Amino acid sequence: MNIVAGVDLGGNAVNYTLITEEEKFLIEGLCEHPARSREGPRVCLNQIMEGLEIAAARAGVKTSEVTVVGLDTPGPASSTGVLSAEGSTNFVHKDWGGFDIRAGLAEKLGKPVIYLNDGNAGALWGHYVLFGTSREATSVSAIIGTGLGGGVIIEGNVVKGRKGFGGELGHVLVPYQSIPGAEGMKPDCNCGRRGDLESVCSLTAIEKTLLPYFLPKYPGHELGKGDLHQAAKRVRGMAERGDEMCREVFRVQACALGLFFDEMVNTFDPDALIVGGGAIETDKEFQDWFVSEIRAGMPPQRVEQADIPIHIMPNGDTAGARGAAIEALKVARDSGLA
């Protein structure tokens, strides 16, 4: 049997999935193994291999039946999986700088490895759930986490771009000055831009910009008492329970996303817009409210485009591994490996 593995390397854990040629997923839910990425590539690649053996055993298949592996990691990295020479938050060990993680893993496993960054892998999964592997549909996914990731899938293909920065949606500027109820807000992103999507719509934005903006308007609010880093993590839960200020924080984020999606509608005329990530791992009532606020934030749409749906991305924490597996399956089919 030809099996394709999806391997999602995150900050602390590696997440696995296994899929057959017929697109049947052999692992339900999370299958994790410690990443130990702080200890450098040599230790981490060993961990990935060890975890893959555990995942295969759990799915009842042999590691030798895995013919292709899809790998995704946080960036910045090139489109072929060479990590940035400048290092990054998730790859702090000095040996990671400029490391070709795709080639390194391929050599370790003795199997072909296909690479995507984690945002693009998540976006491909969201796309696949709606459209399968059809080469016709186009979608744009925004994934709201610590930062803002995502990706653009055009007619079934991930837009990776010339140097691998395709789909860096978090750093696209949005006209934040037009968000109602956020007049005078100055959202600065870690990348140096002011007013890109991540600077308004991310956990980091809640801590750096939205709480400092809203807390003075709500004197005595309980989140004003502790430190902002901890407070930011509580905003989603409190918004879900109906806290007025926290709902405002999320309404402003939804509005920024609406402005961004409007730009994407006019750029790509997509079949679907998809939103995912920790910010909306909530009950359905809150998800529905958030989507309606995204729509409210979009400028009026032309009649032909008013029905472009906004979907919530399913299987949040396994999206990366599953998207990486789908990409590997596609490449394997195109090259006759599966």
- Under the rule (CB under 5 A), what is the footprint of Zn ion? 171, 189, 191, 193, 196, 198
- Distance (Å, rounded) from C-alpha 259 to C-alpha 256? 5
Select 72 or 198, whichever has its Cβ closest to Zn ion: 198
Is there a contact between 328 and 5 (Cβ–Cβ < 8 Å)?
yes
Q: Which is nearer to Zn ion, 196 or 243 (CB)?
A: 196
8 Å CB contact between 99 and 82:
yes
Task: Report the length, in residues, of the chain.
Answer: 338
Smallest distance from Zn ion to CB 56, Å: 39
Long-range interactions of 237-241: CB distance < 8 A, separation 24+: 239/286, 240/282, 240/283, 240/286
Distance of closest approach, residue 143 Cβ to Zn ion, in angstroms: 15
CA 5 to centroid of chain Cα atoms: 19
How far apart, in Å, are the Cα atoms of 286 and each of 48, 185, 280, 283? 36, 25, 8, 6
Nearer to Zn ion by Cβ, of 129 and 173: the residue is 173
In the complex, the smallest distance separating the C-beta of residue 195 from Zn ion, rounded to whole angstroms, is 9
Residue 189 CB, nearest distance to Zn ion (Å)? 3
Question: Could you tell me which residues are beta bridge partners of residue 111?
Answer: none
State the minimum distance, in angstroms, from the CB of residue 227 to Zn ion: 23
Task: Give me the torsion for CA of 161, 164, 168, 173, rounded to 10°.
Answer: -60
Closest distance between Zn ion and the C-beta of residue 190, in Å? Answer: 6
Choose between 200 and 235: whose C-beta lies nearer to Zn ion: 200
The identity of residue 69, as a single letter, is V
Rounded Cα distance, 320 and 22, in Å: 20
Strand order across the 3-9 sheet:
32-34, 13-20, 3-9, 66-73, 113-117
CB of 171 to Zn ion, least distance (A): 4
Burial 83-100 (b: 16+ CB within 10 A, else e): bbeebeebbebeebeebb
Comparing CB distances to Zn ion, the nearer of 51 and 149 is: 149
